[in-house]
Structure 1
Amino acid sequence: MAGKKRLTDNDASFNEDPSLTEDSSADDPSDDDPSFTDDPSDDDLYFEDDLYSDGDFYEEDSDGLSGAVSGGSDDAEDLIEDRESEDAERKLEEAEKERDSYADKKKGNDVFAERRLRDVVLRFYDQFDTGVVPHVVMPSRTKRNLAYNNKSDVWVYGDVESERSAKTVKGAYQLLKTTYVSEFLINEHLKNNRGSTLRELYYITEGWGYAKFGAQSESDRMIEDLEIITSTQREYFHIRPEEDGATIHGPIRIREQTKRGPRVIHCQEDIGEGGYQIPFNVENLEFVDHDAQMIIAIETGGMYARLIENGFDEEYNAILVHLKGQPARATRRLIRRMNTELGIPVAVFTDGDPWSYRIYSSVAYGSIKSAHLSEYMATPEARFLGLQPSDIVEYELATDKLTDKDIQALRSELTDPRFDTPYWKEQINLQLEIGKKAEQQAFAGKGLDFVTDAYLPTRLADLGILKR
């Protein structure tokens, strides 16, 4: 297609389904790729090698990717691709209208997800019917293919594309697995109101014969592929994370759809000090009312508890969100919804080290691995509250020495487009100069009330979130 760059692979050696070999993971590059873990929360920004490797998240030819759709001319292929693209956009619009017509939000979401999955399989049938080799086209998931979307103010995938085609036997197996997974999600999850974790899905495929997956990393990627192909979050497919969600505590009342019916919960008055646990699918939450003036997303549980104990949420009408380290997808989505739908400003409060800055970037700009969902999950208006390297100097906080990995990560961040601002360059270069890092709890050295009585009010005022 015009303006698009297609990654091609003309290697005909892919003639065997890897799941049928003695060592099914031998050809799977994810074994050597640290960005593929068993963590279902898609926290791909936490480790240095994940985000800042020069290569792709996986070798794109490993899944049977091919550059040719058919044996026709480039012009003919462009016409086919343009027609399929227009048809896909039309079907997405129709599915969204149908979803929005349901008064029951959960029912509408389920109908939408089923329709989007069916469209994937029907597209293969249409390609067969028109004499086109079945294929799907997706963006290349690499750091080099990140592009800034001026309309949404987040980082998304650019114009470099990869194509998975049945032109190779291995590619055909991948499309077979795509149809099997789609059928399972429709018939077992959506129709029966059931759900599975990514780990469970991998084991479920054991009985699928040629469509079984050789490793969990392969089935995980399939769910990511379906998200991209269908423009639908996996939570709509009832895919659950392994771990419990993060928590919030603050002046907001929500309505949650549960198996026992709807529940209305005030996230200060109706909960304990542990907070309200964020469900894995926050699309089914409705905001009833709130008195919040700000949202503070907090990396560590210790600081989250400190702010609650000191009554910061009550004094400043703040919704406190415990990120639990690298935030899960549901946490990022809920923060975005509260920001965009309710107009509540967001500030992110983390430790002062390179890994924590990436926690902020995942909230504000999205992650590479889930850049296809940045417009749903990222909150570009989120401000970095701290802990800043300049705070280490100004407040003479207790510190630890930067490790070699810390230094390498900071230098890598200087080349990351999401940190390409004068503010971040100044802060990162300062940290490299002083060679120190600090934790949020270092403020306790100034007294247990210092962070809530002095630091946070001053910093929030500097950001324009709190009026002086």
Structure 2
Amino acid sequence: MSTETDQQAREQLIDLAAQFYDQFQLGEIPHMDVPTRTKSNIELDEDLGVWVYGDRTSRRSANSVAGARKLLKAVYTIEFLAHQLEENRSSTLRELYYISESWDNENAHFNDQDESNQLIEDLEIVSAVTREDFHMRPEESGATVLGPLHLLEQTRRGEREIHCQEDVGEGGYQIPNNPDTIEFLDHDAEFILAVETGGMRDRLVENGFDEDYGALIVHLGGQPARATRRIIKRLHDELEIPVTVFADGDPWSYRIYGSVAYGSIKSAHLSEYLATPEAQYIGIQPEDIVEYDLPTDPLSDSDTNALESELEDPRFQTDYWEEQIELQLEIEKKAEQQALASYGLDFVTDTYLPERLSAMGII
């Protein structure tokens, strides 16, 4: 049975399709305007402390064959999503790409999944409804939470209470596609430690870091999925738990932190919903590479270009990041989290993290 949220999402989609009809009636060429999703079109929202899209837009218009095909695909997708919501069904982004192959008009078929993914993002923006409320799911991200958190989860068989330390294995609690269906019941967490790699997450769990320090360990699984960023946001805002991000010492990992703290270009329309600007970076710093003489790899040309780009990125224009990035460009080295194991398997939990967390005032 569909919920009130489902009905509202369906109405928003139908209203969007009705706008195309109204444009026809007024003698206008049907069109849809969406923000330009480029770094040059994101700006800091001073009130929210996150990055949002600026005023520049791109028009999807039927004044060309290519534009007309895009709008046709949008209409077919809206019809599919509205029907899906009416039947209380769900599908994955990958399935949508294949589903289009069954549509009776070949011009509505997607050329590849990137095209269907982008259309879903367009529909999110112009309808102000998230894809989660469309019942669209990504492929499983494998992201998990482990630590002193007690929650209530909605399942197909009803409600289920789960303690993310006592009721789960070492893999932790699997973050659902839509974390807004979770109710937080209780917790004893002192802080959230969002960890980039599975190997480091396993080391922390094996060493009992969650128990010793009251840490909620969230496995980001690389570039974090929306569901991962959303649950971090909710845990911080609703339970007032400080957030730290523990990642490798390279430009791509700095961007992982940036997406958690300030949002990403791709989902800037959801920054208020996904980003946690209070999150602090606790990952490997260029300063650590020098201080601890960590095992390193040389910077590649793409690494160097990425670091230079980050110096121009509004998300990294602070004294801290400018100092660290300039130091990294000077030493021409990068290091992984696991490089700390050169001092022993317990060094990261007994020395490195406690010292960093203490210096930051977290513990």
1:267 aligns with 2:164: yes
CA distance in 2, matches of 1:402, 1:191: 52
1:115 is matched with 11
1:423 is matched with 320
Q: 1:411 aligns with which of 279, 301, 308?
A: 308
1:435 is matched with 332
Is the 2:193–2:218 contact (alpha carbons within 8 Å) kept by the matching residues of 1?
yes
Q: Deviations over 1:407-463 (max 9, x none)?
A: 121111111111111110100111111111111111111122221121111111222
1:180 is matched with 76
Identity percentage over the alignment?
63
1:370 aligns with 2:264: no
Q: 1:296 aligns with which of 193, 212, 216?
A: 193
Is the 1:245–1:331 contact (alpha carbons within 8 Å) kept by the matching residues of 2?
no
- Partner of 2:241, secondary structure, is coil
Q: Deviations over 1:105-153 (max 9, x none)?
A: x823322321221221122223333443322211111111111111111
2:90 is matched with 195
Amino acid at match of 1:276: Y
CA distance in 1, matches of 2:15, 2:227: 26
2:31 is matched with 135
Query: Which has the larger displacement, 347-356 or 278-287?
Result: 278-287
1:447 aligns with 2:344: yes
1:145 is matched with 41
1:247 is matched with 144
Is the 2:144–2:218 contact (alpha carbons within 8 Å) kept by the matching residues of 1?
yes
Amino acid at match of 1:118: I
Larger Rg, first or second structure (1 or 2): 1
How far apart are residue 244 of structure 1 and its match?
Answer: 3.8
CA distance in 1, matches of 2:112, 2:344: 50
Is the 1:282–1:330 contact (alpha carbons within 8 Å) kept by the matching residues of 2?
yes
1:50 is matched with none
Amino acid at match of 1:143: K
Is the 1:133–1:165 contact (alpha carbons within 8 Å) kept by the matching residues of 2?
yes
- Partner of 2:330, secondary structure, is helix
1:66-105 aligned at under 5 Å gives the runs none
Flag as ranges the 4+ runs of structure 1 deviating above 4 A. Answer: none
User: How does the TM-score come out when normalised to structure 2?
Assistant: 0.95
How far apart are residue 185 of structure 1 and its match?
Answer: 0.9
Amino acid at match of 1:275: G
How many residues are matched?
361
User: How does the TM-score come out when normalised to structure 1?
Assistant: 0.74
1:465 is matched with 362
Question: Structure 2: which 5+ residue stretches go unaligned?
Answer: none
Query: Which has the larger displacement, 270-279 or 394-403?
Result: 394-403
Structure-2 change in CA distance of 1:108 and 1:452 (3 Å): farther
CA distance in 2, matches of 1:456, 1:241: 33
CA distance in 1, matches of 2:143, 2:270: 20
Amino acid at match of 2:166: E
Is the 2:141–2:225 contact (alpha carbons within 8 Å) kept by the matching residues of 1?
no
1:216-227 aligned at under 5 Å gives the runs 216-227=113-124
Is the 1:245–1:328 contact (alpha carbons within 8 Å) kept by the matching residues of 2?
no
Q: Deviations over 1:272-322 (max 9, x none)?
A: 111001111112111111111100000111111111111111121110001
How far apart are residue 166 of structure 1 and its match?
Answer: 2.5
1:356 aligns with 2:253: yes
Amino acid at match of 2:221: K
1:206 is matched with 101
1:276 is matched with 173
CA distance in 2, matches of 1:439, 1:300: 9
Q: 1:311 aligns with which of 203, 208, 229?
A: 208
1:285 is matched with 182
- Partner of 2:140, secondary structure, is coil
CA distance in 1, matches of 2:58, 2:24: 20
Q: 1:165 aligns with which of 61, 72, 78?
A: 61
How far apart are residue 360 of structure 1 and its match?
Answer: 0.7
